[in-house]
Chain A
Amino acid sequence: MDLLKAGFKEVKDAVTTKKISAVEVTKFFLARTEKLNPKLNAFIKMSDTALEDAAAIDKKISQGETVGPLAGVAFGIKDMLCTKGLRTTAGSKMLENFIPPYDATVVTRLKNAGVVVLGKLNQDEFAMGSSNETSYFGKCKNPWNEDYVPGGSSGGSASAQAARLAMGTIGTDTGGSIRQPSSFTGIVGVKPTYGRVSRYGIVAFASSLDQAGPMVSSVEDAALTLEVICGHDKMDSTTSQKPVPEFSKNLTTNIKGMKIGILKEYEKGVLHPDVEKTYRASLESLKKMGVEFVDVSVSLTEFAVPMYYLISASEASSNLARYDGVKYGFRADFKDLSSMNLDDFYSETRGQGFGTEVKRRIMLGTYCLSSGYFDAYYNKACQVRRMLRDQYVEAFKKCDAILSPVTTSPAFKLNERSKDTLAMYMNDIFTTSTNLAGLTGLSVPFGLSSEGLPIGMQLTGSHFEEQKILNIAYALESVSDVKGKTPHVF
């Protein structure tokens, strides 16, 4: 079995029938990480217990006990998700030494399904960024070309997955943080519908937008992961009671007759020629598969980026208030405590503990929520957000899914945009609407740029319609130009 290519099902079957042990699988990925991670900086912390955890699964199998559907599958977890006894930093100095006494619900569910957690993955600090360049733990590289960013904020997940340092990874997506890096690195990344996946134990960035999802090598692996992590959680009031379909069993490439919406507003966008080419090619392929194209309009997408930054920064300014140096995490070093007042304590701790981008957003959000500005900014953004959602609900009466590029361009070079905040923010132009409207979206690799960088296509689905976009992605994947191609680090 080729562990660089094998899907979850194949590995799980092999492990349960003892053709390979979970320990062997784990060792393989740990060795590969040891070799390649210094180049990529995808993992920022390895688990000390990965081999023990794998041995426990093998033991269960040898004792004839039932094991979960992902038995022996080795995962890397974005450092936004709390892992019991394993350092969780959210990519920040603020949590450099934080070891959670609990697992995020997503992690609990993965472990219960038999997943072995290899370690924790790099990311933009508190998931604020689109290039993984804001991480306190250093930049992460794109395995297709190390001069390029892997995208962000789930850059470590994307980089590790594309380089196959793990069989699967988990990312989080607040405004595109799963889909954009997935597109930049040629993997499949799904942002589930808001409320599909528990946020319990995931470091909060913007609570009304955050969702965790799989960043994996194939649509089938994504479906298998979703089956495990989706579903109601009594620890998160915002999770839905809706039953979770058997996504992987329902997968089909037969999408004949499905209606695919083309968003009028996105057609106006200025696309990089390679993205344009890939987009046209995907339309051509889908046409051959017998889908029907429908023009739809969601006029408020024009305001998606400003809306997104107002709402996400507002929520973040409140969510990040708990990092104050009092209970856990980083605390500024005070030589003389007696002369220190409380304001100094906070401003020094938070001033030293947070990076520039995080501070920028906390200030922006604090401003938006301040009395006198609340109605003009936060409240207005929320009103427009509800209207945007309504427009999408209308649009999805006419189509099963909306097809668009994920970003206007393929991966950009390291340092290329890190000084231009606005250019970096505009990266999110095609992805933020999905979060604002609470929809599901995914990126599926489809083309390659002239420089050999992967380009993904985005499918956006209506609330709780993950199956529809998974099926369309499954069909696109079968004819993708990226299929069988691997990054040069392989």
Chain B
Amino acid sequence: MSSNVERPQPKVYNSRGYEAVIGLEVHVQLKTVSKIFSADATNFESGDNENTSPISVGMPGTLPVVNKLVIEYAIKTGLALGCEIRKRSVFSRKNYFYPDLPKGYQISQYDLPICEKGEITFLVGDYEKRVGITRAHMEEDAGKSTHHGDATLLNYNRAGIPLLEIVSDPDIRTPQEAAEYGRAIRQVVRFLDVCDGNLEEGSMRCDCNVSVRKIGTEKFGTKVEIKNVNSFRFVEKAIEYEIERQIDEVEAGKKIVQETRLYDPDKNRTFSMRLKEDAQDYRYFPDPDLLPVILTDAQIQGIKSTLPELPIARAKRFHEKLGLPKTDATVLTDEKDLADYFEKAADICGNAKAASNWVMTDILRELNANKLAINQSPIKPEQLGNLISLIDKGAISGKIAKTVFVEMWKTGEAPEKIVQDKGLAQVSDTGAIEKMIDEVLAANVSQVAEYKAGRAKVFGFFVGAAMKASKGQANPDLVNEILKRKLDQA
């Protein structure tokens, strides 16, 4: 498709002549059964400190052994984000003291991360935005401290949970772009099935780096980090607040202080957590307990070959090859399971447009109403495809199909069986339809006269009456055709 229409351009953020420069660090919890360096379980529901072992609480002499699946998931994500995969990457120790950090250091990656130099493209309203990925590195999570008056309680279930930290280039310019970037990352990791993307359970967390500068200047302003924002809506709000706060400061002739801030969603403001001068010297050095991760081209290719089609590419295909409108294609590729569901239904019936309509309206409506995920739908994609086939074959009418759908949702039974059991098959027997129409015409003589007098609108009344007489099962095309012929002859 060639078009002369100009593509929508990214928005330029302008507040009082300033623009924002934003970069995001997204921590993605990788969906492995065991932790990154021990065999401990990673499930969210376990009781306090149930998912621990001498290794994950850092007892003397215990050693980390890397979970291969974590490396595989990191590579998968890196490849999906177009990153270069480093053939020799190194785990380093990030040293600092905190009670929820069992070893007094976090095993992370520092100067030699596994993924570097990627990018992601996503939609922000009506325009496409491209953001560079600086790096993505593997690391272990810390435990969790909760404070109760004088006491602090520690739960080490999270200690050693595998994380992939994805760091963006400072390419983001608006709060909305930042939120959409986060959503796009979430969509990718969910497509890859490497993260469940559940923000409430902490499966994804965001740190936002924000600075402002006068529009037209090249030099970045002093950046401020907003730590641990736990929803994309809050990412947008926190950055919005932060930009205005920084502009206020600059306008008031003050200097922006390099610091770490926290966002309080209740008050919708950020507040200072610590200044850069208090920042820790993490004394990074390669962890001598772990060997460098060495990868071959063949291994990387092997993982590449398992990559699923990614959302952007899939939406493009749905639009271009299957003829779906762009918006439908975007909605259907929001989640991999949804896209898979749609595609299976469309394959079975060979009618992508109809499958798209059924999924986008009926299926999504019922799922939302019942708070179900797509793979929990009582109607399987094959069954939906068969339902559409029944319509397309003329075996049932579109109206009857809605009734069958309700029954399918309730019982999970096959549409063919419901149609048969309930006697819902469409009547395409012209003799039977003619007989019915004759009866309708005979019973409504005055309306026939009106029609004859030129009130064409009355035709609709006859269609309705005939369909009603057939309990909706008459083939509407045939009803139309026969009715027209009979009325014209009458």
Give the interface of A toward B (CB within 8 A). Answer: 80-82, 88, 90, 95, 98, 100-102, 104, 199-204, 206-208, 234-238, 314-315, 317-318, 320-322, 324, 326-328, 337-338, 342, 346, 366, 369-371, 374, 378
Tell me, yes or no, whether B21 is within 8 Å of chain A by CB.
Answer: no
Q: A101 — which chain B residues lie within 8 A by C-beta? A: 54, 59
Q: Give the complex CA separation of A202 and B60 in angstroms.
A: 7
B29-60, CB under 8 A of A: which get 1 and which 0? 00000000000000000000000001001111
A-B contact count, CB below 8 Å?
Answer: 101
Q: A203 — which chain B residues lie within 8 A by C-beta? A: 60-61
Q: Contact: B150 with A338, CB < 8 Å?
A: yes
Q: Contact: A337 with B150, CB < 8 Å?
A: yes
Q: Contact: A237 with B103, CB < 8 Å?
A: no
Q: Give the complex CA separation of A48 and B57 in angstroms.
A: 27
A100-B54, A199-B61, A322-B104 given; name 6 further pairs at CB < 8 Å. Answer: A100-B59, A238-B289, A318-B285, A321-B97, A324-B104, A366-B283
Tell me, yes or no, whether B336 is within 8 Å of chain A by CB.
Answer: no
Q: Which of A80, A100, A199, A324 is close to B99, meaning CB atoms less than 8 Å apart?
A: A324
Docked complex: B78-119 residues within 8 A CB-CB of A: 93, 95, 97, 99, 102-105
Q: Which of A102, A318, A328 is close to B95, meaning CB atoms less than 8 Å apart?
A: A318
Q: A202 — which chain B residues lie within 8 A by C-beta? A: 61
Q: Which of A324, A342, A369 is close to B283, meaning CB atoms less than 8 Å apart?
A: A369
Q: B150 — which chain A residues lie within 8 A by C-beta? A: 337-338
Q: Contact: A322 with B102, CB < 8 Å?
A: yes
Q: B432 — which chain A residues lie within 8 A by C-beta? A: none
User: Most chain-A CB neighbours within 10 Å: which of B62, B103, B105, B154?
Assistant: B62
Q: Contact: A328 with B59, CB < 8 Å?
A: yes
Q: Which of B58, B64, B65, B285 is close to A327, meaning CB atoms less than 8 Å apart?
A: B58
Q: Which of A88, A200, A206, A321 is close to B63, meaning CB atoms less than 8 Å apart?
A: A200
Q: Contact: B285 with A374, CB < 8 Å?
A: yes
Tell me, yes or no, whether B66 is within 8 Å of chain A by CB.
Answer: yes
Q: Contact: B285 with A82, CB < 8 Å?
A: no
Q: A206 — which chain B residues lie within 8 A by C-beta? A: 288
Q: A370 — which chain B residues lie within 8 A by C-beta? A: 281, 283
Q: Which of B61, B154, B284 is close to A200, meaning CB atoms less than 8 Å apart?
A: B61
CB distance from B456 to the nearest CB of A (A): 84
Q: Which of B57, B95, B102, B291 is close to A369, meaning CB atoms less than 8 Å apart?
A: B95
Q: Contact: B281 with A100, CB < 8 Å?
A: no
Q: B61 — which chain A residues lie within 8 A by C-beta? A: 80-82, 100, 104, 199-204
Q: B97 — which chain A residues lie within 8 A by C-beta? A: 321, 324, 342, 346
Q: A378 — which chain B residues lie within 8 A by C-beta? A: 285
CB distance from B287 to the nearest CB of A (A): 8
Tell me, yes or no, whether B463 is within 8 Å of chain A by CB.
Answer: no
Q: Give the complex CA separation of A204 and B288 in angstroms.
A: 11
Q: Give the complex CA separation of A390 and B62 in angstroms.
A: 30
When C-beta atoms are compared, the residue in chain B nearest to A82 turns out to be: B61
Tell me, yes or no, whether B290 is within 8 Å of chain A by CB.
Answer: yes
Q: Given A201-B62, A327-B58, A321–B288 Cβ distance below 8 Å?
A: no
CB distance from B186 to the nearest CB of A (A): 32
Q: Give the complex CA separation of A174 and B54 in angstroms.
A: 24
Q: Contact: A371 with B281, CB < 8 Å?
A: yes
Q: Contact: B66 with A237, CB < 8 Å?
A: yes
CB distance from B142 to the nearest CB of A (A): 12
Q: Given A200-B63, A327-B57, A327-B58, A342–B285 Cβ distance below 8 Å?
A: no
Q: B99 — which chain A residues lie within 8 A by C-beta? A: 324, 326, 342
Q: Contact: B60 with A98, CB < 8 Å?
A: yes
CB distance from B462 to the nearest CB of A (A): 81
Q: Which of A82, A208, A314, A326 is close to B60, meaning CB atoms less than 8 Å apart?
A: A82
Q: Contact: A318 with B104, CB < 8 Å?
A: yes
When C-beta atoms are compared, the residue in chain A nearest to B100 turns out to be: A326
Q: A326 — which chain B residues lie within 8 A by C-beta? A: 99, 154
Q: Which of B58, B63, B154, B281 is close to A237, meaning CB atoms less than 8 Å apart?
A: B63
Q: Contact: A236 with B63, CB < 8 Å?
A: yes
When C-beta atoms are compared, the residue in chain A nearest to B289 turns out to be: A207
Q: B291 — which chain A residues lie within 8 A by C-beta? A: 237-238
Q: Given A324-B97, A327-B57, A369-B283, A237–B104 Cβ distance below 8 Å?
A: no
Q: List 26 A-B contacts (CB under 8 A).
A: A101-B59, A200-B61, A200-B63, A201-B61, A203-B61, A204-B289, A206-B288, A207-B289, A208-B288, A234-B65, A237-B66, A237-B290, A314-B285, A318-B104, A321-B97, A322-B103, A324-B99, A327-B57, A327-B58, A327-B102, A328-B59, A369-B285, A370-B281, A371-B283, A374-B283, A374-B285
CB distance from B406 to the nearest CB of A (A): 56
Q: B102 — which chain A residues lie within 8 A by C-beta? A: 322, 327
The 6 A-B pairs with the shortest beta carbon distances in the complex, nearest first, are: A321-B104, A369-B283, A208-B288, A207-B288, A201-B61, A203-B60
CB distance from A27 to the nearest CB of B (A): 30
CB distance from A108 to the nearest CB of B (A): 12
Q: A342 — which chain B residues lie within 8 A by C-beta? A: 97, 99
Q: Give the complex CA separation of A237 and B63 in angstroms.
A: 8
Q: Give the complex CA separation of A256 and B393 in angstroms.
A: 94
Q: B290 — which chain A residues lie within 8 A by C-beta? A: 237-238
When C-beta atoms are compared, the residue in chain A nearest to B99 turns out to be: A326
When C-beta atoms are compared, the residue in chain B nearest to A88 turns out to be: B60
CB distance from A445 to the nearest CB of B (A): 30
When C-beta atoms are compared, the residue in chain A nearest to B61 turns out to be: A201
Q: B63 — which chain A residues lie within 8 A by C-beta? A: 199-200, 235-237
Q: Given A100-B59, A324-B97, A235–B65 Cβ distance below 8 Å?
A: yes
When C-beta atoms are compared, the residue in chain B nearest to A81 turns out to be: B61
Q: B57 — which chain A residues lie within 8 A by C-beta? A: 327
Q: Give the complex CA separation of A320 and B54 in angstroms.
A: 16
Q: Give the complex CA separation of A378 and B95 in angstroms.
A: 15
Q: Given A321-B104, A369-B283, A371-B281, A315–B288 Cβ distance below 8 Å?
A: yes
Q: Give the complex CA separation of A207 and B290 in angstroms.
A: 10
Q: A199 — which chain B residues lie within 8 A by C-beta? A: 61, 63
Q: B288 — which chain A residues lie within 8 A by C-beta? A: 206-208, 238, 315
CB distance from B340 to the nearest CB of A (A): 37
